[in-house]
Structure 1
Amino acid sequence: MAKKEYRYEEICRDIVAKKFAPVYIMMGDEPFFMDQITDLLLENVLEESERDFNQIIMYGADTDAASIINAARRFPMMSKYQLVVVREAQLIRDIELLSNYVKNPLMSTVLVINYKYKNLDRRKTLASATDKIGVLFESKKIPDYKMPAFISSFMQLRSVGIDGKAAQMLSDFLGNDLSRLSKELDKLALILPEKGAKRITPELV
């Protein structure tokens, strides 16, 4: 039986609560969620003092499955975890060979694979093994009609309220470009009062 689909908010909550999976594979046509989850892992898995020895960032164009497996099988130095992040993993030609590691991962390694603008074949071993032991997250574009509700929940994560009309105005203006939306919401959050309930109104937009 297939594992349930992971929701973005769920994954973020677990990371902030320091509940890490041994493997994260993020794939799909919406890079925004992948970047946000990866940044959250970079902030939360290791303390700043542990990063020099225990954080490895690799790029798909410059690496292969064997190099990633070798990195992932290292043990951390003076830390509970090591973090291995692979960006642009869609450029790795032999990516399916990572299944040899994912079937039996090192629990002291957090391996993060960003597979952008494409999806792995869920029938193959890499996707199915990740689904059993880690987090397999498909990052999908949000349809325009769902954007106002997404904007409301996105601001809720930041402890900021937003009026329905303001959410609709932002959606009409920005479409479903989430990177641009995030920048605009950051700007709006800056002009809110420091004390009291924070809420974005149509007048502010």
Structure 2
Amino acid sequence: MNEIDLYKSISTQSSPVYFMSGDERYSIEKAIDMAKGTLKESFRELNFTVIDSEYDTDMDMVINSCESIPFMDEKRIVVVKNSELFQVGANKSCAKEQIQKISNYIESPSKSTIVIFAPIQADKRSELYKLIKKKYDTYQSDRLDKLRFSTWVSNKFKEKNVSIDKNTIDYFVQKSGYLFRESQVTLFDVESEIEKLSTTFSHKQVSIVDIEKISSTVEENDMFKFVDYVFVGDIQKAYSIMRNISNNTKNSILAMSLIARQISILLKILVMKRNRLSQEEMASFLMMHPFVVKKSIAQLKYYTYHELISLYDLCSDIDYRIKKGQIKDNIGLEVVVNKICKNKDVV
């Protein structure tokens, strides 16, 4: 099912069960909002339920929500945002009986309920996914390629009635950072930047200079590039970005937290490797893209378990000293970066 077909189906309430998953959540959240909008406004909140099994692990509650009768409306909508239901192997946290309960419901769903499964990640080898795929259409929301993203951006500017030429749009596309490899920028972030431009420059044609003044998304993405450079030992590129980061205390602290986060990820992956988990299982457990896990595994060759613990303790100590005013944030960041890069046998 493509995006247009999904929206059409959702708007007409034509299926009792939907499955939508993927790295780019924008179209998924739009579909969920669209589904909610089909309910009568006066009783909308009573007939709309969101369940996240990360917190709500009782599948009986999911079934009860699906089988409840709508209040003063023809339909009720239940959104199940989870990944546990669609895991396999060592990461499978839901009991077989729980999965069977959901499977039984899918085989014979309530005619007055629309249930939307919208996990962040889903293993397509899972029993539940295979059952849904067999009986209903599914939607996969992957990140946009350059052509689709450029078209999306252009259409968004038109929706906001922003006057902007093609060259400036091309510049914005690059500036956004969305297309960068392993980018953390989402369509929500990009839409927010477009909204700022449309609000600030509503009565003039937007120029490249205007974008430079307003847009900030790429700086955030530079943070992730910086961390990547640090952990592959590319000290020159890391320092190139760090010079810009160090001009802002908030950025330095964010960079420190991202470095500590990556060390934590490496520690978790190291433990999972020792327990012989596959890359797919690691990605599912960590709720990360498999490519990011693969990249992190490659970084592990530079560290022992004790070195990672030592680096994590160093980050905690430097963070404490920065907050106590015992050391400047830019100096603290430089100390951490130098220490990490000393573990490398390549520069």
TM-score bracket relative to the smaller structure: 0.7 to 0.9
Distance 2:130 2:84 in 1: 20
Which of 1 and 2 has higher RCO (CA within 8 Å, sep 6+)?
Answer: 1
In structure 2, C-alpha distance between the alignment counterparts of 1:150 and 1:8, rounded to whole Å: 13
Distance 1:66 1:22 in 2: 19
Corresponding position of 1:33: 27
Q: Tell me how far 1:124 sits from its aligned partner.
A: 4.6
Q: Who is 1:181 aligned against?
A: 190
- Specify the alignment match of 1:100 in structure 2: 104
- Gap change, CA 1:51 and 1:125, over 3 Å in 2: same
Alignment equivalent of 1:12, drawn from 7, 12, 32? 7
Cα distance between partner residues in 2 of 1:75 and 1:200 = 52
| Alignment of 1:90 onto 2:121 | no
Q: Is the 8 A contact 1:8 1:33 kept in 2?
A: yes
Alignment of 1:62-101 (within 5 A): 62-87=56-81, 89-92=82-85, 93-94=93-94, 96-97=99-100, 98-101=102-105
State the 1:96 CA deviation. 4.3
User: What is the aligned partner in structure 2 of residue 119 from structure 1?
Assistant: 122
Equivalent-residue separation in structure 1 for 2:205 and 2:50 (angstroms): 37
For the 8 Å contact 2:46–2:71, the answer to whether it is kept is yes
Q: Deviations over 1:63-95 (max 9, x none)?
A: 3333212211122121010111222x1144337
2:18 corresponds to which residue? 24
Instruction: Say if 1:22 and 1:142 are closer, same or farther in 2 by CA, change over 3 A.
Output: same
Cα deviation for residue 102 of structure 1 reads 1.6
Q: Separation in 1 of the partners of 2:173 and 2:206?
A: 14
AA matched with 2:38 = V
Q: 1:13 to 1:163 in 2, by over 3 A?
A: farther
- Mapped contact 2:67–2:110 kept (Cα < 8 A): yes
Higher helix proportion (structure 1 or 2) = 2
Partner of 1:49: 42
Larger Rg: 2
The alpha carbon displacement at 1:109 in A equals: 0.7
The structure where strand makes up a greater share of residues is: 1
Matched AA of 1:78: M
5+ residue gaps, structure 1, are 1-5, 194-198
Q: 1:128 to 1:166 in 2, by over 3 A?
A: farther
In structure 2, the CA distance between the partners of 1:60 and 1:127, relative to structure 1 (3 Å rule), is same
Equivalent position of 2:144 in the other structure: 142
Q: 1:45 to 1:160 in 2, by over 3 A?
A: same
Q: Whole-Å Cα distance in 2 between the matches of residues 186 and 21 of structure 1?
A: 34
* Residue identity opposite 2:12 in structure 1: K
- Superposition deviation, residue 9 in structure 1: 3.5
| Structure 1 pair 133–50 and aligned structure 2 pair: CA distance change class (3 A) | farther
CA distance in 2, matches of 1:20, 1:163: 40
Find the counterpart in structure 2 of residue 172 from structure 1: 174
Aligned length: 189
Residues 200 and 58 of structure 1, relative CA distance in 2, 3 Å threshold: farther
Assess if the C-alpha contact under 8 Å between 2:53 and 2:84 holds in 1: yes
Q: Which one of the candidate residues 114, 123, 148 is aligned to 1:110?
A: 114
SS in 1 for 2:63: helix
Kept in 2, the 8 Å contact 1:22–1:133? The answer is: no
CA contact (8 A) 1:188 1:200 kept: no
Q: Tell me what 2:315 maps to.
A: none
Any gaps of 5 or more consecutive residues in structure 2? Answer: 86-92, 179-184, 212-347
Quote the RMSD (CA, aligned, Å). 2.9
Q: CA deviation at 1:34?
A: 2.1
Cα contact 1:57–1:84 (8 A) shared by 2: yes
